[in-house]
Structure 1
Amino acid sequence: MDAATVAGYFKDKSILITGSTGFLGKIFVEKILRIQPDVKKIFLLVRAADTSSAEQRVLNEVIGNELFGPLRENYGSNFYSFMKEKISPLAGDIINENLGLESLEILKLSKEIDIIVNGAATTNFYERYDVSLASNVLGAKYVCKFAKKCANLKMFLHISTAFVSGEQEGLLLEKVFQIGETLKEGCHLDIAAELQLVESVKAELTHSTNGKSEQTEKITMKKLGLKRARQFGWPNTYVFTKAMGEMLVGHFGRELPVVIIRPSIVSSIYHDPLPGWIEGTRTIDSIISAYAKQTIPHFIGAGHVILDVTATTQDQSKEACVLNFDPKSIDWEYYLYNSHIPGVMKYAHKK
């Protein structure tokens, strides 16, 4: 399979994307439109009050972004008409049954959609437990249930995280999480019970404070998420709820063409279309920014320590090189000094 075949796969396909206003979502939308302008339609589910608000949000946060600069230059005065032809914003939310869409919308979409990419999530490590459960767990369930209504579905891609494996050491093979599975021996996870626990704790708080202390509820929910995560063997609320999301995708998506991908650290763009492009500061970027400001003049590290090694085959196909899917092709020193760090200072640091 070569690059032309990969791009050709998206020709005349309709794609539903959740999380398109996020970092990965924007990159994916731009990439599809650039490598396959004959994609039939890209539906973007965004949180908004109505269709008009959804359109405005996509205009401001997605296609109006500097990431789309090369496409804007390529299409010139036809850029916005091309975007309007290919992109269809939907006002909804994955935390609701039927994604918050009307019955007629669901019926229409179920006949059109070929591919679903579920990238919507809250990635805050220490998010409120109720918020994380709604987005990362119930959201995965509801998108899965919608996918089962799509008669022409060819792929359901769910974006998870490599850190659902927790803090285990050694060789970690990819395997699907089963319902109830935990990282702590002798424990069983009941997702329904976790949802009920959240509701009971919130009800108790409302009763004890007469519903007047939002800050107390926020702190309690954050502490509860961390406590439950560690009880079952995960280090934080984010990876715990993403693991639960995988369980529900595996459970409700048994009859679907499901692919779960688990990125590790998400960093700036390596090369295409804007080298070093990034939104916000991520992981080590806070240290880079602090070092640039000299608020951290130096930091200590052990050069011999292996942080992470990526599960890749020796025989890489042509598409991996052309579309940059092969991490072994990356010159990490060049990338860090010439793309990533300048990108952090140019795109993230200025904000």
Structure 2
Amino acid sequence: MSMIAAFYSSKSILITGATGFLGKVLMEKLFRTSPDLKIIYILVRPKAGQTLQQRVFQILNSKLFEKVKEICPDVHEKIRPISADLNQHDFGISKEDMEELLSSTNVIFHCAATVRFDDPLRWLDDAIIDEITPKLIGDRPNTYTYTKALGEIVVQQEGANMNVAIIRPSIVGATWQEPFPGWVDNLNGPSGMIIAAGKGFLRSIKATPLAIADLIPADTVINLTLAAGWYTAVHRPKSTLIYHCTSGNLNPCNWLKMGLHVLETFEKVPFEKAFRRPKANFTTTSFTNHYWNAVSHRAPAVIYDIYLRLTGRKPRVTKLMNRMLRMLSMLEYFVNHSWEWSTHNTEMLMSMLSPEDQRMFNFDVRQLNWLEYIENYVLGVKKYLLKEDMAGIPEARQHLKRLRNIHYLFNVALFLIIWRLLIARWQMARNIWFFIVTYCFKFLSYFRASSTLKF
């Protein structure tokens, strides 16, 4: 029997960030493996025109919870939404709700976080913050990583007398195995890049091709989190343990290999109504990056927007392209560096699990097949983010063929125009053209004469 599943049974659990990507996967796994748990409290920010219970039903109506509703038909009765805003004092939780949480909660999973890399710090006047932020973050690439570090310091200082564990996942991607491969519901990180590449917007990125793409599946993160929660509560380590949930040192895959896997999958499963055929390359210098951004990103967007204006439609591609380039600039630091993370605590935890728990709460990333995972990831993006039907694949392939033909015709026309201008302006170009034509004529004459010889 699973010791971890048994631990969470009959427990009252509080989850922050339950409406986010990882929070949903965590909640689904808890209900599926410990359907006898007492209740899950989730902090939900009030939303205009929608009650807290309606937001719960919206979460449960996604495909992610299909298996849960079979195992635990009354799952909606075991979720208690609490109105809260993490930006407010005491999270804006009412006195009654706070008393209930304090008296009933057995386990807390804090998953709430902003995922914007460029969010401003909010401690002082905006003008002061803008001035001191570069000094505060130092060598860190952005406020996101800086505030993550601050959060850990607060936890370790204020939670010294509590049973606490910290999970540090790397770049979180779609699910690997549970509850099914490829589930994803947000555009953050790799998912946004996959869409941009699959739709033909992303053609070049400044990255170090052989740098490690430290991607980790969402269900792997959650399995490790639940195992760490069990171990922390039952074994009560003397200090706060930090678990690195990463793939780079155990099952590395570099950006070049991952990019090739993604492009290969686009050949099998193309996205619908692509702007251009999927194709991407890596640049390694700022000069080449600026060049390809101008040639492969901004120029085609401007040309297409001119076409839209001429046909009476609203231009939109330049705006989308600029948004994508901003996203790439924020990711640039992470796709140009590799890190080595200690997995000592993670491996120790794995050794503490029974064979049943190792199977049910698998976080051994060494078992992950990258080609299979990437294919499922692209399929998941197509089905769950873009809401595209698999029946539309033949038409998507035909669309890519039309784009290829347009690309060839455009290049031929551009070449002829440039060549005609060169011939008109420079004697050397005319001499080269004369030489090529003469050489081709002689070659054809020789070939014709050779084909008439009798042996």
State if a TM-score over 0.5 links the two structures: yes
1:105-116 correspondence runs (5 A): 105-116=97-108
The corresponding residue for 1:261 is 167
1:52-201 correspondence runs (5 A): 53-60=51-58, 62-74=59-71, 79=73, 82-130=74-122, 195=123, 198-199=124-125, 201=126
What is the one-letter code of the residue matched to 1:87? I
CA contact under 8 A between 1:126 and 1:226: conserved in structure 2?
no
Distance between the aligned counterparts of 2:178 and 2:23, measured in 1?
Answer: 15
The correspondence for 1:309, drawn from 249, 260, 263, is: 249
SS of structure 2 residue aligned to 1:90: strand
The corresponding residue for 1:179 is none
SS of structure 1 residue aligned to 2:172: coil
Unaligned runs of 5+ in 2: 214-247, 251-341, 389-455
Q: Please give the per-residue CA displacement for 1:36-67, whole angstroms capped at 9, x wherever unaligned.
A: 110011001111179x822222222x212221
Quote the offset at 1:100 in angstroms: 1.6
Q: Please give the per-residue CA displacement for 1:241-261, whole angstroms capped at 9, x wherever unaligned.
A: 111111111121111111111
SS of structure 1 residue aligned to 2:192: helix
Q: 1:304 to 1:90 in 2, by over 3 A?
A: closer
CA contact under 8 A between 2:174 and 2:380: conserved in structure 1?
yes
CA contact under 8 A between 2:43 and 2:82: conserved in structure 1?
yes
Distance between the aligned counterparts of 2:193 and 2:62, measured in 1?
Answer: 26
The corresponding residue for 1:214 is none
The corresponding residue for 1:341 is 378
The correspondence for 1:227, drawn from 120, 130, 134, is: 134
The corresponding residue for 1:30 is 28
Distance between the aligned counterparts of 1:304 and 1:242, measured in 2?
Answer: 27
Q: Please give the per-residue CA displacement for 1:103-149, whole angstroms capped at 9, x wherever unaligned.
A: 2322222111100111111110001222xxxxxxxxxxxxxxxxxxx
Distance between the aligned counterparts of 2:173 and 2:47, measured in 1?
Answer: 32
**Which protein has the larger Cα radius of gyration, Structure 1 or Structure 2?**
2
Match status 1:332 vs 2:384: no
SS of structure 2 residue aligned to 1:117: strand
Q: TM-score, normalised by structure 2?
A: 0.51
Distance between the aligned counterparts of 1:278 and 1:43, measured in 2?
Answer: 23
CA contact under 8 A between 1:20 and 1:120: conserved in structure 2?
yes
Quote the offset at 1:298 in angstroms: 6.8
The correspondence for 1:10, drawn from 4, 8, 12, is: 8
Distance between the aligned counterparts of 2:374 and 2:171, measured in 1?
Answer: 14
Q: Please give the per-residue CA displacement for 1:200-235, whole angstroms capped at 9, x wherever unaligned.
A: x46x8xxxxxxxxxxxxxxxx6x55852454x3311
Match status 1:274 vs 2:180: yes
The corresponding residue for 2:156 is 250
What is the one-letter code of the residue matched to 1:67? L
CA contact under 8 A between 1:67 and 1:277: conserved in structure 2?
yes
Q: 1:34 to 1:239 in 2, by over 3 A?
A: same
The corresponding residue for 2:43 is 45
What is the one-letter code of the residue matched to 1:349? L
Aligned residues: percent identity?
A: 31
The corresponding residue for 1:146 is none
Distance between the aligned counterparts of 2:383 and 2:84, measured in 1?
Answer: 33
Q: 1:20 to 1:228 in 2, by over 3 A?
A: farther
Distance between the aligned counterparts of 1:225 and 1:24, measured in 2?
Answer: 32
Aligned residues: 255
Distance between the aligned counterparts of 1:40 and 1:247, measured in 2?
Answer: 32
SS of structure 1 residue aligned to 2:97: helix
What is the one-letter code of the residue matched to 2:88? N
SS of structure 1 residue aligned to 2:166: strand
Q: TM-score, normalised by structure 1?
A: 0.65
What is the one-letter code of the residue matched to 1:256? M
Q: 1:123 to 1:302 in 2, by over 3 A?
A: closer
Distance between the aligned counterparts of 1:48 and 1:66, measured in 2?
Answer: 24
